[in-house]
């Protein structure tokens, strides 16, 4: 664990809830449907977050459960069963249905785990699972953690083998998943699975011969569930930027006995291309001062990339929570003079940001407009999740994401 002191904050937070993860999970898991059991607020959130992306019949919806007291619970369960039955009859292509919990008290009173078991039995051909995306329990990306945790018991058991298999954990855009699959294959690691898979029916097996790499830094509960099934973690930095990607691939290569000559042969050319792609942006970003508000949980790995490969000066790196084990290698690479904060007290953090007057503040949508009005250039942290940024081929896009707001501001000032 890094010796960096951590500023712990427990005040008001300005982060999305875990429902937001449905935005990328429903695109990744192509035979699943996400039914939010929630309120009108949840429906509005999903509508505005997804508004520009709906071009076909979406694979998520909200069952609105409101204004019930305890006496109305039986009705709520009946109503939920009716909504699910109607949905499945209308959309026969649904093979897996996630009931996603939210924070209204009417929903908290419902036992969605039991409802999922009951409906799975009743519906037969549809697997019904449940997890919580409630804003009380989850921040923005923790919804993915909760969803993947719910999938782990569904993974088949890996047969005992002479050689281990590799599991990559965390939702990646298909194009990035394909790039990594090709790279592992070129390294001679053939038995590779991804969680989540594109189809719940094709979930990879797991067992004591599984070695897993985390592709995302917000999967503590999923990792725990995998360990319970015997899988073992390969500690590494996260695959952002050239350094992070190389160290991530090396962790797998070392665990699978890949010769260092072969590693260099496979990794060398794309790593060089990525170094060239980011060099152009380093000129613009070098020396710029960046302040991270806690939001996506990607803050620490991205900050490490920015400071070590782009020459950025970090002022504060805030994260909703810090998983000490998963973050150990990232924290060891951060400069000693950075303020690392965990949790949030938004007013105090805004004061620190204003006092520091950074060149870029990375923050959630709710803070971006007020900060821009005050003359502080912002980068929406939601873009870090929605843009393909992992791996060598995307390193240039990652750098460009931070160069763009500076370019925009300088054009506005001309």
Provide the token pair at 82: 């009716």
Of 132-140, 161-169, 286-294, 314-322: span binding ligand SF4 (CB under 6 A): 132-140
CA distance 353 to 102: 32
* Minimum distance, C-beta of residue 150 to ligand SF4, in the bound complex (Å): 17
Closer Cβ to ligand SF4, 134 or 307, answer by number: 134
Closer Cβ to ligand SF4, 102 or 165, answer by number: 102
Closer Cβ to ligand SF4, 17 or 148, answer by number: 17
When CB distances to ligand SF4 are compared, the closest residue is: 135
Judge whether 126 and 118 are in contact, CB under 8 Å. Answer: no
Closer Cβ to ligand SF4, 107 or 403, answer by number: 107
For ligand SF4, the binding residue among 15, 19, 271, 367 (CB under 6 A) is 19
Closer Cβ to ligand SF4, 8 or 40, answer by number: 40
Closer Cβ to ligand SF4, 47 or 369, answer by number: 47
| CA 111 to each of CA 77, 79, 115, 238, 269: distance values in angstroms, whole numbers, following the listed order | 9, 14, 6, 35, 52
* Minimum distance, C-beta of residue 140 to ligand SF4, in the bound complex (Å): 10
Q: Does 405 bind ligand SF4 (CB under 6 A)?
A: no
Sign of the four-CA dihedral 102, 142, 45, 53: negative
CA distance 200 to 202: 5
* Minimum distance, C-beta of residue 77 to ligand SF4, in the bound complex (Å): 19
* Minimum distance, C-beta of residue 62 to ligand SF4, in the bound complex (Å): 9
Q: Does 220 bind ligand SF4 (CB under 6 A)?
A: no
| CA 192 to each of CA 31, 165, 321: distance values in angstroms, whole numbers, following the listed order | 21, 6, 30
Closer Cβ to ligand SF4, 43 or 406, answer by number: 43
Closer Cβ to ligand SF4, 40 or 161, answer by number: 40
For ligand SF4, the binding residue among 2, 134, 165, 222 (CB under 6 A) is 134
For ligand SF4, the binding residue among 21, 135, 170, 196 (CB under 6 A) is 135
CA distance 139 to 173: 21
CA distance 317 to 300: 7
Of 38-46, 226-234, 238-246, 323-331: span binding ligand SF4 (CB under 6 A): 38-46
For ligand SF4, the binding residue among 25, 35, 39, 130 (CB under 6 A) is 39
Q: Does 242 bind ligand SF4 (CB under 6 A)?
A: no
Closer Cβ to ligand SF4, 41 or 77, answer by number: 41
Of 75-83, 99-107, 217-225, 356-364: span binding ligand SF4 (CB under 6 A): 99-107
| CA 177 to each of CA 167, 170, 227: distance values in angstroms, whole numbers, following the listed order | 12, 10, 23
Note the helical H segments in 4-127.
22-28, 40-50, 73-90, 105-108, 112-123
- Give how many residues touch ligand SF4 by CB under 6 A: 13
Provide the token pair at 318: 């805030």
Residues comprising the chain, all counted: 414
Q: Does 45 bind ligand SF4 (CB under 6 A)?
A: yes
CA distance 36 to 332: 39
Half-sphere exposure of 198 (CA within 13 A, CB side): 6
Helix then strand then coil, % of the chain, to nearest 5: 50, 20, 30
Q: Does 99 bind ligand SF4 (CB under 6 A)?
A: no
Among the listed residues 382, 378, 316, the one whose alpha carbon sits nearest the alpha carbon of residue 353:
316
Among the listed residues 341, 184, 177, 332, the one whose alpha carbon sits nearest the alpha carbon of residue 244:
332
For ligand SF4, the binding residue among 23, 103, 171, 195 (CB under 6 A) is 103
Of 128-136, 224-232, 269-277, 359-367: span binding ligand SF4 (CB under 6 A): 128-136
Fill in the DSSP letter of residue 341.
Answer: E
Fill in the DSSP letter of residue 206.
Answer: B
Judge whether 395 and 274 are in contact, CB under 8 Å. Answer: yes
Closer Cβ to ligand SF4, 100 or 167, answer by number: 100
Closer Cβ to ligand SF4, 45 or 197, answer by number: 45
Stretch 360-389: interaction string toward ligand SF4, x if CB under 6 A: ------------------------------
Residues that bind ligand SF4 (CB under 6 A): 17, 19, 38-39, 41-42, 45, 102-104, 133-135
């Amino acid at each position: 664990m890094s010796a960096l002191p951590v500023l712990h904050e427990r005040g008001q937070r300005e982060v999305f809830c875990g429902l937001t993860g449905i935005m990328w999970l429903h695109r990744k898991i192509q035979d699943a449907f996400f039914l939010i059991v929630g309120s009108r607020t949840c429906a509005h959130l999903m509508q505005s977050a997804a508004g520009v992306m709906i071009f076909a019949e979406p694979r998520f919806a909200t069952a609105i459960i409101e204004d019930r007291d305890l006496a109305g619970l039986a009705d709520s369960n009946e109503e939920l069963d009716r909504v699910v039955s109607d949905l499945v009859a209308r959309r026969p292509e649904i093979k897996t249905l996630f009931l996603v919990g939210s924070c209204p008290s009417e929903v908290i009173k419902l036992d969605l785990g039991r409802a999922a078991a009951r409906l799975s039995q009743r519906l037969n051909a549809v697997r019904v699972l449940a997890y919580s995306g409630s804003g009380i329990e989850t921040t923005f990306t923790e919804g993915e953690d909760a969803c993947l945790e719910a999938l782990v018991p569904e993974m088949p058991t890996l047969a005992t083998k002479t050689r281990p298999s590799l599991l990559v954990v965390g939702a990646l855009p298909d194009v990035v998943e394909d790039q990594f699959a090709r790279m592992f294959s070129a390294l001679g690691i053939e038995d590779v699975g991804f969680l989540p898979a594109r189809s719940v029916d094709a979930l990879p097996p797991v067992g004591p011969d599984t070695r897993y790499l985390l592709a995302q830094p917000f999967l503590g509960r999923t990792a725990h569930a995998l360990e319970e099934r015997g899988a073992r973690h390969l500690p590494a930095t996260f695959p952002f930027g050239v350094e992070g990607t190389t160290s991530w691939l090396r962790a797998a290569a070392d665990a699978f006995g890949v010769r260092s000559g072969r590693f260099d042969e496979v990794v060398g050319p794309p790593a060089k291309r990525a170094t060239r792609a980011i060099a152009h942006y380093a000129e613009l970003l070098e020396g710029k001062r960046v302040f991270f508000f806690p939001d996506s949980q990607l803050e620490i790995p991205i900050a490490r990339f920015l400071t070590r490969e782009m020459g950025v000066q970090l002022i504060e790196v805030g994260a909703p929570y810090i998983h000490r084990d998963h973050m150990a290698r990232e924290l060891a690479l951060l400069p000693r003079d950075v303020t690392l904060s965990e949790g949030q007290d938004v007013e105090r953090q805004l004061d620190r940001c204003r006092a520091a007057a950074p060149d870029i503040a990375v923050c959630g949508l709710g803070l971006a407009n007020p900060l821009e009005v005050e003359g502080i250039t912002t980068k929406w942290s939601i873009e870090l999740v929605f843009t393909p940024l992992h791996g060598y081929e995307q390193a240039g896009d990652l750098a460009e994401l931070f160069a763009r707001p500076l370019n925009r501001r300088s054009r506005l000032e001309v």
